[in-house]
Each structure stands twice: as C-alpha cells, then as structure tokens.
C-alpha cells in the first residue's frame, strides 16, 4: 500500500513541505504495511508554466511525466494545501488539471483513489483550501475526498510541538484528526483497490463530469 503526502506549496523549504515530513515521521510508525512517500510541489517549478519557451515546455513535460508516474503508483493521497489569500497555490490546481483523462495519455492517475484534504495556515486560517479542494478538483480527476479532513493552524508552532495525539490541547487535537483521517484513508484505499479497474470503466463513459 502506497500513500503519497503532497506538500502543495510552491515555495522551497516551506512549512507545508516540512509538515509533510512531520506527518510521515509521526504517523508511519502507527500504521503497518503502508509506505508513505512525500512529494513537494516546490520541486516542480515548471508546473505553473504551461505556455512558455520551447525549453520550458520541455521541462514542463518532463515534470508532468514524473509527477503523473508518482500519482499513478499511489493508492491514496494526503494533500497539504496552504492558504494563499484565501486560495490554494496554482501549482496544486495545475496538478489536478493534469490528472484529467487524456491530458497525459490515457491515464486516470487519481481516479477512484481516496484523498484527505489538509488546510495549512501560518495563522488562524486554513478552511478555504479544504472547501476549494472539495468543490472543484474532483470533477475531471475523479479523486474521492474523504469525509474527514484536518486544518493545521499556526503551522510554525505546530511543527515544534511534540507528537502526542492522546493529550489535551489544540495541537494534540489536530494530531488526532490527522491520525484518524490517515487511518481512514488507508482503509478506503485497501477496499477500493480491488474494484478500481471496474470503477475506471464507468468513469470512461463520462470522464469530464457534467
């Protein structure tokens, strides 16, 4: 079972990228027989440059293929979306655009795979990314969002907080939500994997939503 944690900030050395590794390091030991991989979108700077020079377009194609391969090989996703002015980074939107059927060959790399939305905020925000992900990204990607989500507020302080999801307090409560969500994600991924090919056949009838 392969679960991919996606830090969706385009900024290098971002708190979203650090949070991805924080979650992997603290959750992976609690869940058996699951491999957690981290994808940091800041390592794919050309994802936001679809219509540039010939050289940049070649780099776009290279980065797209590499990222699509990682998504295709995953059984589920944890999407860490930082709130940028009430929105999500454009690279994250472009990632979902890339997963529409036919965009990168006859692939549906995220279709009928579970995903957990995690909003990230340097202050007290973080709710808008969850709403955006739920409302617009599933139409053509056919990704399946879990009913559970988490919002990591004051992420800089959160990253310095020791992992203790059983304790009282705001950060421990957030840790508990993350752990519960990931446990649910793994269950969904295990149950959906055997029937995914059958579901893909249904998606191919109407691949682009309504």
Q: Is residue 160 part of a domain?
A: yes
If one counts the domains in the chain, the total is 1
Q: Could you tell me the pLDDT band of residue 109, with boundaries at 50, 70 and 90?
A: very high
Q: Is residue 210 part of a domain?
A: no
Q: Is residue 130 part of a domain?
A: yes
pLDDT of residue 62: 82
Q: Could you tell me the pLDDT band of residue 181, with boundaries at 50, 70 and 90?
A: very high
Write the Ramachandran bin of 86: left for phi over 0, alpha for psi from -120 to 50, otherwise beta: left
Q: Is residue 45 part of a domain?
A: yes
We report the CATH number of the domain holding residue 39 as 3.40.50.360
Which of 141, 58, 59 lies closest to 94 in space, CA to CA?
141
Looking up tokens 């969500």 gives 181
177-30-154 Cα angle (round to 5): 35
pLDDT of residue 75: 98
pLDDT of residue 176: 97
The SS3 call for residue 37 is: strand
pLDDT of residue 64: 84
Q: Which residues pair with 151 in a beta bridge?
A: 119
Can you tell me the distance from the alpha carbon of 148 to that of 178, in angstroms, rounded to the nearest whole number? 9
pLDDT of residue 50: 57
pLDDT of residue 54: 56
114-168 pLDDT, tens digit each: 999 999 999 999 999 999 999 999 999 999 999 999 999 999 999 999 999 999 9
19-67 pLDDT, tens digit each: 999 999 999 888 889 999 999 999 988 777 655 555 556 777 788 889 9
Q: Is residue 172 part of a domain?
A: yes
Which of 44, 126, 113, 37 lies closest to 82 in space, CA to CA?
126
pLDDT of residue 32: 87
Range of the domain at 199: 2-205
As given in the structure block, the two tokens for residue 118 are 């995690």
Judged against a pLDDT cut of 70, whether residue 205 lies above it is answered with yes
pLDDT of residue 53: 54
């Amino acid at each position: 079972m392969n679960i991919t944690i996606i830090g969706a900030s385009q900024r290098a050395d971002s708190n979203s990228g650090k949070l991805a590794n924080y979650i992997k390091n603290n959750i992976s030991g609690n869940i058996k027989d699951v491999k957690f991989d981290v994808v940091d979108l800041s390592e794919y700077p050309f994802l936001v440059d679809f219509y540039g020079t010939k050289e940049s377009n070649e780099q776009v194609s290279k980065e797209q293929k590499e990222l699509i391969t990682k998504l295709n090989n995953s059984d589920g996703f944890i999407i860490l979306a930082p709130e940028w002015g009430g929105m999500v980074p454009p690279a994250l939107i472009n990632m979902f655009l890339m997963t529409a059927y036919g965009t990168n060959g006859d692939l549906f790399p995220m279709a009928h795979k579970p995903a957990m939305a995690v909003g990230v905020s340097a202050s007290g925000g973080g709710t808008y990314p969850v709403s955006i992900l739920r409302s617009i990204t599933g139409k053509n990607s056919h990704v399946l969002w879990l009913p559970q989500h988490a919002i990591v507020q004051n992420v800089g302080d959160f990253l310095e907080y020791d992992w203790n999801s059983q304790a009282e307090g705001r950060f421990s409560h957030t840790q508990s939500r993350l752990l519960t969500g990931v446990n649910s994600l793994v269950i969904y991924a295990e149950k959906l994997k055997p029937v995914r090919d059958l579901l893909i056949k249904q998606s191919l009838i109407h691949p682009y939503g309504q």
